[in-house]
């Protein structure tokens, strides 16, 4: 039977958006027009509301994917003679280390297992051993496996040692609690197409006010200099270069729905219910989650691939897609996995339908049970 809806994206972004968010993009906007300038100001104000950062931080939006903003944050906040310690427990941590190196910053990696949260105690030891480290870079929710890392504990260690903290909160901001009043960070990065349920194409960086005041000339990039971007916006209300107009107005509408839903706590509750529904349903089919519950963020879940000889991710993906759901490939290199996102404009009904789509895909491929070899 043909589907009469778009496939639901069970990915960590892009993700399924609401009709209201889609409709917001049907109007064209002049980038220097007063109406668009007002939307930019409203979005920036709302983002600071979410992080409780009006007194301590500014927010600087930037064109491009979230990775653009991570790169911009490192290049702007970390002086050229700085030394970045990257806490690494997954693929996106490794990407952060690579971009930090490419920005010309001295970079050291503190490795952890993909199935382990980063350790504040190990960070403490590393900072005691090397006084040259100026900044720590961490991923709040490492979506390579779905691990929730201990932001508050890491921030406390950095504050005790007087080190700057740069946080990639791409997949957590808007869903997991982040409060600038109690968690000290120099920069925190997120994006439009994640838990705020906008569309991709714009990142934003919260920068501590006193830190940004010292950042002029740090960046070697014209387009990604957050100091200049902020100064120009404060002076004119405009973006320095052509803004992602449709992305911004979609985010403006998505934030209105975020507030109507009840903000961060309500968004987290919905995503947690999605995650719980997914885990229960997949377990009933024999699938085994990669992570223990204690460090599983309700953003994306990694599952071991089934041990059955008929399993091949591309065929499995195509079969699930025929039933209306887009899965996500695994990001781990040592074992075969796939991932299922819990975020977007979806609820537990859609998650139950997703589990049913997986069951139908298994049936089509002749896979009797979802358990991996180690669990059989």
Please tell me the predicted confidence (pLDDT) of residue 155.
Answer: 98
Please tell me the predicted confidence (pLDDT) of residue 333.
Answer: 75
Task: Please tell me the distance from the alpha carbon of residue 79 to that of residue 186, in angstroms, as a whole number.
Answer: 13
Domain ranges in the chain with CATH number 3.90.1150.10: 8-14+263-375
User: How many CA atoms are closer than 13 Å to the CA of 164, on its beta-carbon side?
Assistant: 24
Handedness of CA 248, 298, 50, 74 (dihedral sign): negative
Please tell me the predicted confidence (pLDDT) of residue 374.
Answer: 61
Provide the residue-wise pLDDT of the chain in tens; the chain has 376 residues: 345 678 999 998 899 999 999 999 999 999 999 999 999 999 999 999 999 999 999 999 999 999 999 999 999 999 999 999 999 999 999 999 999 999 999 999 999 999 999 999 999 999 999 999 999 999 999 999 999 999 999 999 999 999 999 999 999 999 999 999 999 999 999 999 999 999 999 999 999 999 999 999 999 999 999 999 999 999 999 999 999 999 999 999 999 999 999 999 999 999 999 999 999 999 999 999 999 999 999 999 999 999 999 999 999 999 999 999 999 999 887 899 999 999 999 999 999 999 999 999 999 999 999 999 765 4
CA angle 348-47-118, nearest 5°?
Answer: 70
Topology classification of domain 19-260: 3.40.640
pTM for the whole structure:
0.96
Please tell me the predicted confidence (pLDDT) of residue 370.
Answer: 93
User: How many CA atoms are closer than 13 Å to the CA of 13, on its beta-carbon side?
Assistant: 24
Residue 154 dihedral angles phi and psi, to the nearest 5°: -65, -45
The stretches of the chain forming alpha helices (DSSP H) are 19-23, 34-51, 66-77, 91-102, 120-129, 151-161, 209-212, 226-236, 245-261, 263-284, 313-322, 348-365
Please tell me the predicted confidence (pLDDT) of residue 4.
Answer: 60
In the 8-state DSSP scheme, what is residue 304? E
CATH (one of 3.40.190.10, 3.90.1150.10, 3.30.70.330, 3.30.70.100) for 8-14+263-375: 3.90.1150.10
Task: Please tell me the distance from the alpha carbon of residue 363 to that of residue 197, in angstroms, as a whole number.
Answer: 32
Q: Hey, what long-range contacts does 33-37 have (CB within 8 A, 24 or more apart)?
A: 36/243, 36/245, 36/248, 36/249, 37/237, 37/238
Q: Is the peptide bond before 14 cis (omega within 30 degrees of 0)?
A: yes
Q: Are 173 and 194 in contact (CB under 8 A)?
A: yes
Domain ranges in the chain with CATH number 3.40.640.10: 19-260
- Write the burial class of residue 68 (CB in 10 Å: 0-12 exposed, 13-18 middle, 19+ buried): buried
Residue 370 dihedral angles phi and psi, to the nearest 5°: -90, 0
| Residue 169 Ramachandran class (φ > 0 left, ψ -120 to 50 alpha, else beta) | alpha
Please tell me the predicted confidence (pLDDT) of residue 332.
Answer: 86
């Amino acid at each position: 039977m043909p589907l009469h809806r778009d496939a639901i994206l069970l990915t960590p972004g892009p993700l399924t958006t609401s009709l209201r968010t889609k409709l917001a993009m049907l109007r064209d906007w002049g980038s220097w027009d007063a109406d668009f300038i007002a939307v930019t100001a409203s979005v920036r104000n709302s983002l600071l509301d979410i992080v409780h950062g009006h007194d301590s931080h500014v927010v600087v939006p930037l064109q491009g994917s979230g990775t653009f903003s991570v790169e911009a944050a490192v290049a702007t906040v970390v002086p050229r003679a700085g030394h970045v310690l990257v806490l690494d427990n997954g693929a996106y941590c490794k990407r952060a280390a690579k971009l930090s190196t490419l920005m010309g910053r001295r970079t050291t990696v503190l490795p952890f297992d993909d199935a382990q949260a980063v350790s504040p105690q190990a960070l403490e030891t590393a900072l005691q051993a090397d006084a040259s480290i100026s900044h720590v870079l961490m991923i709040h929710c490492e979506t390579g496996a779905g691990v929730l890392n201990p932001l508050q504990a890491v921030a406390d260690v950095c504050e005790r040692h007087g080190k700057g903290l740069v946080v990639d909160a791409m997949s957590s901001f808007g869903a997991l609690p982040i409060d600038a009043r109690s968690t000290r960070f120099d920069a925190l990065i997120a994006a439009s197409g994640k838990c705020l349920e906008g569309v991709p194409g714009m990142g934003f960086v919260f920068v501590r006010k006193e830190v940004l005041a010292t950042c002029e000339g740090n960046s070697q990039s014209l387009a990604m200099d957050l100091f200049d971007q902020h100064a120009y916006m404060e002076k004119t209300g405009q973006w320095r270069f052509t803004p992602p107009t449709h992305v911004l107005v979609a985010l403006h509408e998505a934030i209105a729905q975020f507030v109507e839903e009840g903000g961060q706590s309500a968004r987290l509750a919905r995503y947690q219910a999605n995650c719980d529904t997914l885990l229960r349903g997949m377990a009933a089919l024999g699938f085994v989650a990669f992570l223990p519950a204690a460090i599983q963020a309700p953003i994306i879940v990694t599952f071991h691939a089934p041990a059955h000889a008929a399993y091949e991710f591309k065929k499995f993906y195509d079969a699930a897609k025929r039933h209306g759901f887009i899965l996500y490939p695994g990001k781990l290199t040592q074992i075969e996995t796939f991932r299922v996102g819990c975020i977007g404009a979806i609820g537990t009904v859609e998650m139950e339908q997703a589990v049913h789509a997986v069951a139908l895909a298994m049936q089509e491929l002749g896979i009797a049970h979802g358990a991996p070899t180690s669990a059989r």
